[in-house]
C-alpha cells in the first residue's frame, strides 16, 4: 500500500503543474493494487522459473493490438502454470530501452501499439499465481543508428550527442554502445530505471543477467582507468561491477524490502570474473548483493570444461547468502553443443539431458531452476522432455 500511496501523490503533484500525464500515471490505481498479500503467496518454496527474452516480442507485439498481445501472453502464462512453473522473468529492458511506460528510457522497437506491455504481463501473471520479475540488461544499449534517432529528452541520446560523454559514459564496441559502470552517474541512471519500475508496477522482483563488461580490451575505459592512477585494470573493473550490483540491490530494498533482486551470471565463474569482470561467487557468498543467484549452467554432463554435476556442486558450495536457482538450457535439446569439447554431441545423442539435470538438481541443495527460454521449452522439439519435466514437477 505504501508504494501505491507514493505513486498517487506523484500523480497529484505532476498533474497540478499542468504536465501531460503519461500512460502509467493515468492508470496508476489499476497498475498498483495492494500487492503485499500476492507477494507473500508467490514466495514459493521451490523456484520454478522461465525466461521470456525480448526476441519473443517480435511475435507477440510487433504489429499487434493490446488485445492480441494479451491473448499471446495469456496463452504463454497459462502454459507455464499448467507445467507447474511459478515464476517468469520478463524482459523489459534489453538495449537501453523500455517495454513499459518510462520517463527515462525510450520505447522498445518491438512495441508498435499504444499499450503498456509490463502492465499486461503483471496482470496476466498474477491472475495465474505466477511471480513476475522485471528483467533488465543494465549496460547494453543500441547501435549508433538507433541512438541517433532516439528522442533528445532521454539521457542516452544526450550522452551520445555529447563528445565528452560519447566514448566515456557511453562506449561503442562490436557495433553496440555500452554504458560504463565506472561512472557514478551511469550506475545512478540504471538504478533510477529500476526504481521507476518498482514505483509504478506490482512486480515481484528485479532481475539482471550476464551482460556486464562487453570486452577485455583496455581501450574500452582507458580514460576512466587512467584517472584512477591504479595498475590492476581487472580488479578495478570488478569493483565497478560490484558497485553496480550493490547499488541495484540497495535500490530495490529501499523501494520495497520484500521484493527480490536476482542476478544471472554465466555458469563458469572463471569466465564471469576474468572476462566479464563479474565477481558472481562474491555476490552470492556475502550479504548485500543479491537475494537469488541464477547461474546459467547451460552444460551437459559430458561437457569437457564445465560438466554439469561438478559445476552445480561448485555453486552449491558457494551460495551461502543467496538462494541458488539453476539456469537450464532448454534451447540445447537436439542441438550440437559446439563449445563442449568431447561432449559436443551429448544433447543430440541423449534427448533426456534437460530432464536428467532437473532431476539431479532437485536432489541436491539448489533452491530452484529457470529454463532458457520460453519458446524453446514449449517448442515441438521439447515435447517429450516437457512431458518428463511435468511428471517430475507433479510427483510430489
What gap in Å lies between CA 321 and CA 289, rounded to an integer? Answer: 9
Whether the per-residue pLDDT at 17 is higher than 80: the answer is no
Q: State residue 29's pLDDT score.
A: 36
Whether the per-residue pLDDT at 43 is higher than 70: the answer is no
- Render pLDDT for 230-266 as a digit per residue (tens, 0 to 9): 999 999 999 999 999 999 999 999 999 999 999 999 9
Nearest to 119 by CA among 196, 60, 32: 32
Q: State residue 272's pLDDT score.
A: 98
User: What are the extents of the domains in the chain?
Assistant: 2-394
Task: Return the residue matching grid coordinates 523501494.
Answer: 255
Average pLDDT over the chain, rounded to an integer: 91
What gap in Å lies between CA 344 and CA 327, rounded to an integer? Answer: 19
Residues 6 or more apart in contact with residue 33 via CB below 8 angstroms: 4, 202
Element (H or E) spanning 223, and its range?
helix 222-228
Q: Where are the alpha helices (DSSP H) in the chain?
A: 2-16, 23-26, 28-31, 36-41, 57-60, 66-83, 117-127, 144-148, 155-161, 184-200, 222-228, 233-255, 269-274, 280-285, 308-316, 346-349, 353-363, 374-377, 383-394
The CATH code of the domain at 2-394 is 3.20.20.80
- Render pLDDT for 79-93 as a digit per residue (tens, 0 to 9): 999 999 999 999 999
- Tell me the pLDDT band of 44, cut-offs 50, 70 and 90: low
**Least confident among 9-13, 106-110, 276-280:** 9-13
- Render pLDDT for 145-190 as a digit per residue (tens, 0 to 9): 999 999 999 999 999 999 999 999 999 999 999 999 999 999 999 9
Looking at residues 30-54, what average pLDDT do you find?
70
Amino acid at each position: 500500500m505504501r508504494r501505491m500511496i507514493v505513486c498517487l501523490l506523484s500523480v497529484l503533484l505532476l498533474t497540478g503543474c499542468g504536465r501531460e500525464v503519461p500512460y502509467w500515471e493515468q492508470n496508476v490505481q489499476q497498475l498498483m493494487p495492494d500487492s503485499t498479500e500476492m507477494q507473500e503467496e508467490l514466495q514459493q518454496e521451490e523456484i520454478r522459473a522461465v525466461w521470456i527474452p525480448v526476441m519473443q516480442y517480435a511475435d507477440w507485439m510487433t504489429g499487434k493490438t493490446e488485445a492480441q498481445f494479451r491473448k499471446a501472453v495469456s496463452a504463454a502464462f497459462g502454459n507455464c502454470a499448467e507445467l507447474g512453473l511459478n515464476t517468469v522473468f520478463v524482459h523489459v529492458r534489453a538495449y537501453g530501452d523500455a517495454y513499459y511506460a518510462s520517463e527515462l528510457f525510450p520505447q522498445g522497437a518491438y512495441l508498435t501499439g499504444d499499450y503498456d506491455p509490463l502492465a499486461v504481463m503483471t496482470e496476466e501473471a498474477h491472475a495465474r499465481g505466477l511471480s513476475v520479475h522485471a528483467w533488465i540488461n543494465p549496460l547494453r544499449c543500441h547501435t549508433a543508428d538507433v541512438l541517433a534517432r532516439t528522442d533528445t529528452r532521454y539521457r542516452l541520446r544526450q550522452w551520445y550527442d555529447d563528445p565528452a560523454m560519447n566514448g566515456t559514459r557511453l562506449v561503442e564496441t562490436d557495433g553496440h554502445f555500452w554504458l560504463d559502470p565506472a561512472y557514478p552517474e551511469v550506475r545512478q541512471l540504471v538504478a533510477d530505471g529500476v526504481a521507476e519500475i518498482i514505483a509504478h508496477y506490482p512486480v515481484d522482483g528485479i532481475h539482471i543477467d550476464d551482460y556486464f563488461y562487453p570486452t577485455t580490451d583496455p581501450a574500452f575505459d582507458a580514460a576512466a582507468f587512467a584517472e584512477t592512477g591504479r595498475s590492476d585494470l581487472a580488479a578495478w573493473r570488478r569493483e565497478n561491477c560490484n558497485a553496480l550490483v550493490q547499488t541495484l540491490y540497495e535500490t530495490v530494498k529501499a523501494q520495497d524490502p520484500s521484493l527480490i533482486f536476482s542476478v544471472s551470471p554465466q555458469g563458469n565463474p572463471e569466465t564471469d570474473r576474468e572476462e566479464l569482470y563479474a565477481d558472481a561467487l562474491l555476490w552470492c557468498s556475502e550479504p548485500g548483493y543479491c537475494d537469488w543467484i541464477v547461474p546459467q549452467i547451460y552444460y551437459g554432463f559430458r561437457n569437457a570444461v564445465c560438466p554439469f554435476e561438478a559445476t552445480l556442486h561448485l555453486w552449491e558450495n558457494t551460495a551461502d547468502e543467496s538462494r541458488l536457482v539453476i539456469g537450464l538450457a532448454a534451447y540445447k535439446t537436439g542441438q550440437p553443443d559446439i563449445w563442449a569439447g568431447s561432449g559436443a554431441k551429448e544433447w543430440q545423442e541423449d534427448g533426456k539431458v534437460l530432464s536428467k539435470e532437473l532431476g539431479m538438481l532437485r536432489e541436491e541443495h539448489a533452491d530452484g531452476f529457470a529454463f532458457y527460454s520460453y519458446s524453446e521449452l514449449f517448442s515441438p522439439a521439447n515435447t517429450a522432455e516437457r512431458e518428463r519435466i511435468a511428471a517430475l514437477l507433479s510427483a510430489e
